[in-house]
């Protein structure tokens, strides 16, 4: 029986055995993942597409720029979406008593 054999091993032998078992487990998991990848690639190829086509590999989605919500009362070409850091003109206008609502577009 395996337990009896383990009980007769030295600590050094047990640690060596454990290292072998850990490596076998790791190799098993890698083989299983590789087999799954190959199967997925085969199905994709059967349908005339690549994995990159399916998952959009290499394509980065661009976030749409937020629409302007506020405009500088002194220069309407300066706008701010209301997100992120407040522009200096906005801070100055608010500190001078302007309400944020009065600067809304």
Structure-block tokens of residue 30: 């890698």
Instruction: Tell me how far apart the alpha carbons of residues 104 and 77 are, in angstroms, rounded to a whole number.
Output: 13
Q: Are residues 49 and 74 in the same domain?
A: no
Q: Is the pTM of this model over 0.85?
A: no
Q: Are residues 46 and 76 in the same domain?
A: no
Q: Which residues of the chain have pLDDT under 50?
A: none
Structural domain containing residue 82: 70-103
Instruction: Tell me how far apart the alpha carbons of residues 100 and 97 are, in angstroms, rounded to a whole number.
Output: 9
Question: Residue 70, SS3?
Answer: strand
């Amino acid at each position: 029986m395996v337990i009896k054999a383990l009980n007769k091993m030295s600590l050094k032998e047990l640690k060596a055995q454990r290292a072998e078992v850990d490596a076998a487990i790791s190799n098993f998991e890698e083989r299983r993942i590789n087999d799954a990848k190959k199967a997925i690639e085969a199905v994709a190829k059967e349908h005339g597409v690549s994995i990159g086509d399916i998952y959009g590999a290499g394509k980065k989605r661009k976030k749409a720029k937020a629409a302007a919500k506020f405009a500088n009362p002194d220069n309407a070409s300066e706008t701010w979406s209301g997100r992120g850091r407040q522009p200096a003109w906005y801070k100055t206008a608010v500190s001078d008593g302007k309400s944020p609502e009065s600067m809304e577009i």
